[in-house]
Amino acid sequence: ITGDIMRPEVIEFLNQKAPKGLFRFEIGVQSTNDATNELVMRRQNFEKLCRTVTLVRDGEKIDQHLDLIAGLPEEDYNSFRQTFNDVFALRPEELQLGFLKMLRGTGVRLRAKEHDYIYMDYAPYEVLGNNVLSFDDIVKIKQVEDVLEKYWNDHRTNNTIEYLIENEFESPFDFFQLFGSHWEERGWSRIGHQLEDLFKRLNEFLNHYELKSKNLVKDIMKIDYYLNH
């Protein structure tokens, strides 16, 4: 659905009448940077989109999947960090972090030289960098994607992450970035993971930081662990 044009009365009707689990909404946010959205000829009223997502979330009938795209024109690393934090604040059930594909015939590919795009010359033509986002920045964002999928979208550690991002780390993006970089440095992205492994690796990562409430965090992790059984 297009989140910012969904009428509130339609959502209210679904919240009252729809069986729980019948619908799943996918909303392509892509970016909250207005200048970036205009460059890809995409108009979006983020305030209205937030209203839609919040109404749906509070109704507890429909799961939501929100999409972000890294590599859009004039969206640098800091701007993408802001986009991520803006959207994560809505607490969607799933937050997908994708990367721009320079598909043939699209406006962004036709104007690729204007933004110094570098991209794969074979399908899926994924972006490797541009004038404001380096290849190293893209690699870092991919590290965020890796742990975001395992720890948020799979809902194994909801209470722990909620506490960490509200009390121990500067923002949701900063938590996932620091954890994702640690994950990559340890080589964990190249091996499989059981449930117990995920908790052990999160615990090892957190042991590298001076948490304000280390014992409390460990207690919350225990609760999340047992809730998965």
Tell me the pLDDT tens digit for each residue of 42-56: 889 999 999 999 999
Q: Is the pLDDT score of 96 beyond 90?
A: yes
Q: Is the pLDDT score of 210 beyond 90?
A: no
What one-letter code names the amino acid at 55? L
Task: Confirm if 71 and 103 have CB atoms less than 8 A apart.
Answer: no
CA 215/CA 220 separation, integer angstroms: 9
pLDDT bracket for residue 32 (50, 70, 90): very high
pLDDT computed for residue 189 by the predictor: 85
CA 64/CA 61 separation, integer angstroms: 10
What one-letter code names the amino acid at 148? L
Residue with tokens 């109404």: 55
Of 66-75, 92-101, 140-149, 191-200, the range with the lowest mean pLDDT is 191-200
pLDDT computed for residue 81 by the predictor: 98
Q: Is the pLDDT score of 152 beyond 90?
A: yes
pLDDT computed for residue 7 by the predictor: 93
Q: Is the pLDDT score of 135 beyond 90?
A: yes
What one-letter code names the amino acid at 60? E
pLDDT computed for residue 196 by the predictor: 94
3-state secondary structure of 98: strand
